[in-house]
Amino acid sequence: MTLNTTSGPTRIVHANEPDEESVLERKFGHLVPLDSEEMAQLRDLQARTEKVRARSDILESGAKAHPTAVILDGWAYRYKTLENGRRQIIAFLLPGDFVSLYAPLLSTNGASVRTLTDVTISKIAPREMLDLFRNHARMASVICWSAAETDRILAEHIVSLGRRSAYQRISHLFLELLFRLDAVGLADGDTIEFPVTQEAIADTLGLSIVHVNRTLKRLRAEGHIEVNGDLLRIPRFDTLARIAHFDRDYLVHRRLPDRLVHRLIG
């Protein structure tokens, strides 16, 4: 990975600028080598863009399932609201993530998805998805890999909720987000844009707002994080990773070994 805690700040790269590498190219490009036809294929997936305002629902729980979509820019989250009004955030959706990969297979949505910032998505018709799987084995494997990554993130979230202290949970979440943003070129060295309220952190990690607030205060006081408006800096990655028992390998952004690629689609 390119995460580099010693280098000076570099400019934050935004999706969709002309002549820029697309988000999916950045996400998948260092996973498997892509030829020019595959690049074009990826660009097609990102062609049917749509803007969504901050704080609005992309998907509603129980509603008829939508087509799949990819996030090209901005933050969103998948969540569920309980009967007593409490809320649980299941996962954050960042640029390069699929909003509802399985939607075409299911008749209704199991959870809702809501934006945190203004968001650009690109919709993908079920048929387009199917063609991909039929005719572009390497693309298909890359999308499955993405599903595998989601699975691991959910699993790690379960570990946090079940067996880590508030202090570790928050640290772990921050490191995960830094890691994931870095993978799509959206980390600026050791700092990231962080448009997440304390209430949202609380609802992600199963804590109360009050306790999140106090724990953040402690993390700031101890110099593990620096918050500046919407910017979050993690100045000593390794130290915090040790405290939170963050395993940098559970998000596998490294290029797949040729052996694997061959076995699968060679």
Binding flag, residue 262, its own copies (CB under 8 A): no
Binding flag, residue 1, its own copies (CB under 8 A): no
d(CA 73, CA 208): 29
Residue 229: name the closest of 201, 203, 191, 178 by CA. Answer: 191
- Binding residue for DNA (CB under 7 A) from 210, 223, 245, 258? 210
Sequence-separated (6 or more) residues with CB below 8 Å from residue 204: 77, 88, 89, 92, 173
CB of residue 229 to DNA, shortest distance in Å: 8
Residue 209 interacting entry, from its own copies, DNA, none, C-beta within 5 to 8 Å by type: DNA
- Binding residue for its own copies (CB under 8 A) from 14, 66, 87, 233? 87
Residue 179: name the closest of 229, 117, 249 by CA. Answer: 249
CB of residue 14 to DNA, shortest distance in Å: 20
As to burial, measured by CB atoms within 10 angstroms (0-12 exposed, 13-18 middle, 19+ buried), residue 250 is middle
Helices (H) and strands (E) in the chain, counts: 9, 10
Residue 133 interacting entry, from DNA, its own copies, none, C-beta within 5 to 8 Å by type: its own copies
**Cβ atoms within 10 A of the Cβ of 181, count?**
22
- Binding residue for its own copies (CB under 8 A) from 106, 210, 222, 230? 106
- Binding residue for its own copies (CB under 8 A) from 55, 131, 133, 230? 133
Residues that bind DNA (CB under 7 A): 165-167, 197-199, 206-211, 213-214, 216-217
